[in-house]
Amino acid sequence: MSDRLVKRIRLLNGISLYAAIVFLGFSLAYIDLSFSATFYESSVAMFLYLTTILINKLGSYHFARVFFILFNAILFSYFAVAHGEADGAEYLLFCSSVGSMLFFERFSTISFFFLFNIAAFWLAKYLFGIVEPFAAAAGDNLYIENHVFTFLGLFMIVYFFKAENQRKERELADKNKILSLEKAKSDGLLLNILPADIAEELKESGKIKPRHFEEVAVLFTDFKSFTKVSETMSAEDLVAELNSCFTAFDIIISKYEIEKIKTIGDSYMCALGLRKESNFDPSQIIMASIEMQQHIDKIRTQNIKANKPFFEMRLGIHSGPVVAGIVGQDKFAYDIWGDTVNIASRMESACEVDKINISQQLYNLIKDKFICTPRGNISIKNKGEISMYFVEGPL
């Protein structure tokens, strides 16, 4: 059973109970030795409202609603004709007509019961000129009471719709808030694997076009003798140590607008120059690499004092053109390709521990800002000899 149906059942039972109590009051007020018509009418009305509650209890929810609307229309029409125009009972039909909107959703059903009650109202008006009030008696005039009940009925209906509308607005606001939080979470997760402009393109178009970047600095790190060192550590300690190092690297590169590309085992890869909004400044990736080596040196010193295994790191950087994009459909990842990436990887493998090894091409871009030691031409796989330099620090 839906929440909406439960609310309508409770509403119908509440209205019926309220009306039954009102008519019980009338029955008690008009009970006397002569038992006036108002007493009998009120008793019948009370019984009908209680019957509505009983039908709901038996599970016939739709029938209870139809029964309620129909007997109200008939009951109020009877009151109007039986007591005459002076009582004003016909105006209670307005409550019944508007009340049909409380219990039904289909426009055709609401329209039918609305028109049915309006027709009953005009029929009562027509019969006033033909039928003499056969139940009216001295002292039984209920003009004021009927108009008060009409006002209260309409007020309660309008109040219900207002409260229901406010409830729906609150629910909508809550849902929008939840959606906003979930969207923020999903956007955050997307930004963890994609640059901001790439993530925005993916959200807007559902796909990402490959992009060519003419000048990008690519950085690789690797831990010396990682396999040997890892054999002396538990799995938990190994993962914790790697996580500590790579988390520190994430924090460092974020300061210099460098994009993390991926981690491959004990290797960390990132690149500068993939953001549209920033100018390419190779000194940023050199500063980041210096901080990364300093962090590893600090961790090594701490681990030596604690007699724990430690890592020693090689770091290589090269700059040049790359192609960036996403391949695959499931568990996709942003990646870069090109000869620049391959040479950067060779810079790292040709490096010495605790050093920052850069190519001639990158050296030409940063030589005026950093102290560098030439290494001469060094042969690398599939590329022959390449001039390399160690970065010692800023000038």
46-66 tens-digit pLDDT: 888 899 889 988 888 888 888
| Torsion sign, CA atoms 296, 297, 298, 300 | positive
| Torsion sign, CA atoms 304, 310, 312, 315 | negative
Q: Which of 74, 69, 56 is nearest to 109 (CA)?
A: 69
Tell me how far the alpha carbon of residue 133 is from its chain's centroid.
Answer: 63
State the chain's mean pLDDT as an integer.
82
Task: Give the E-state strand segments of 85-238 in sequence order.
Answer: 211-223
Residue 394 corresponds to which tokens in the numbers above? 């800023």
40 vs 27: CA distance, rounded Å: 7
The CATH architecture of the domain made up of 208-394 is: 2-Layer Sandwich (3.30)
Phi and psi for 215 in degrees, rounded to 5? -135, 110
Higher-confidence residue of 291 and 56: namely 291
Answer whether 217's CB lies under 8 Å from 282's CB.
yes
Mean pLDDT for the stretch of residues 315-330: 87
Mean pLDDT for the stretch of residues 127-147: 59
Pairing relation of β-strands 313-327 and 356-359? parallel
pLDDT of residue 89: 64
Answer whether 359's CB lies under 8 Å from 388's CB.
yes
Which residues lie closer than 8 Å to 75 by C-beta, 6 or more apart? 44, 45, 48
Torsion of Cα atoms, 7 then 106 then 119 then 82, to 10°? -20
Higher-confidence residue of 287 and 67: namely 287
- Give me the amino acid identity at 362: L
Residue 141 corresponds to which tokens in the numbers above? 């005039």
Residue 321 corresponds to which tokens in the numbers above? 């053109």
287 vs 279: CA distance, rounded Å: 16
Tell me how far the alpha carbon of residue 306 is from its chain's centroid.
Answer: 47
Q: Of all residues in the chain, what percent carry a pLDDT higher than 70?
A: 82
- Give me the amino acid identity at 27: S
Answer whether 336's CB lies under 8 Å from 356's CB.
no
197-240 residue pLDDT tens: 777 777 777 677 888 999 999 999 999 988 888 888 889 989 99
Instruction: Report, in angstroms and rounded to the nearest whole number, the Rg of the chain calculated over CA atoms.
Output: 42
Higher-confidence residue of 349 and 127: namely 349
- Give domain limits for the chain: 3-172, 208-394
Report the range out of 2-16, 192-206, 320-334, 348-362 with the highest average pLDDT: 348-362
Q: Which of 303, 312, 286, 288 is nearest to 369 (CA)?
A: 286
Residue 369 corresponds to which tokens in the numbers above? 């800002």
Run of H or E residues at 300: helix 283-305
Q: What are the distances in angstroms from CA 198 to CA 187, 202, 208, 323, 340?
A: 12, 6, 7, 13, 21
pLDDT of residue 139: 45
93 vs 96: CA distance, rounded Å: 5
- Give me the amino acid identity at 59: G
Binned at pLDDT 50, 70 and 90, residue 138 comes out as very low
SS3 assignment, position 142 = coil
Half-sphere exposure of 121 (CA within 13 A, CB side): 16
79-125 residue pLDDT tens: 777 766 656 566 666 666 666 777 777 777 777 777 777 777 777 77
Higher-confidence residue of 1 and 282: namely 282
Mean pLDDT for the stretch of residues 336-358: 94
Phi and psi for 387 in degrees, rounded to 5? -70, 135
Higher-confidence residue of 302 and 36: namely 302
pLDDT of residue 155: 65
Higher-confidence residue of 274 and 80: namely 274
Report the range out of 39-48, 264-273, 327-336 with the highest average pLDDT: 264-273
Cβ neighbours of 4 (radius 10 Å): 10
Mean pLDDT for the stretch of residues 4-22: 80
pLDDT of residue 383: 82
pTM metric for this prediction:
0.58
pLDDT of residue 34: 55
pLDDT of residue 33: 46
